[in-house]
Amino acid sequence: MFEQNHYREVKAILDAKIEELGLRKTVERYKILEEVYKRDDHFEADELYFAFVERNFSVSKSTVYNTLDLLVELGLVNKRQFNGSHAARYEKSFGRKQHSHLICVDCNRVFEFCDPRLQAIQDSISQFYQMPIIEHSLIIYGQCQRENCQKNG
């Protein structure tokens, strides 16, 4: 779900970084940011690129990849490698709760879940090692066994 308030905040963060780096404020960068924050899925960079191609919006693949790298650097987007895949998947991160992933090995569908017991484990580990936990990543693989499993695509 697209939240206009989150978009305004992430746009301001991107604006500040662009100014700091002396980059140009291009329409393409902001369109990519907007598209990422309209999505609720885990997407590959090429999927994002082809979404623009389908809408006849002119943007290069390198601009998509470079902008995603910048958004990852800013903490506005998370980049994940699932199931040994060479293709990275991205998801918006600003304003989202920590969550883990369950992935179907047949259709590669990603299910998000949150379990408060994981926070308790994280707190326990942090206390034991006297190290603040910045982030964790838990990925579980299974077979969705659903009638609508998106096998082969």
How many residues does the structure list for the chain? 153
104 marked among binding-site residues: yes
107 is in an annotated binding site: yes
149 is in an annotated binding site: yes
- Rounded CA gap, 95 and 109, in Å? 23
Nearest to 75 by CA among 10, 15, 23, 19: 10
Q: Are 37 and 44 in contact (CB under 8 A)?
A: no
Pairing of strands 139-142, 100-104: parallel
Is residue 114 a known part of a binding site?
A: no
Q: Which residue has the tokens 């006849």?
A: 56
Residue 122 in tokens? 């994280």
144 labelled ligand-binding: yes
- Neighbour tally for 120: CB within 10 Å: 10
**Gap between the terminal Cα atoms of the chain:** 24
User: Residues annotated in the binding site, as ranges?
Assistant: 104, 107, 136, 144, 149
User: Residues annotated in the binding site for Zn(2+), as ranges?
Assistant: 104, 107, 144, 149
User: Residues annotated in the binding site for Fe cation, as ranges?
Assistant: 136
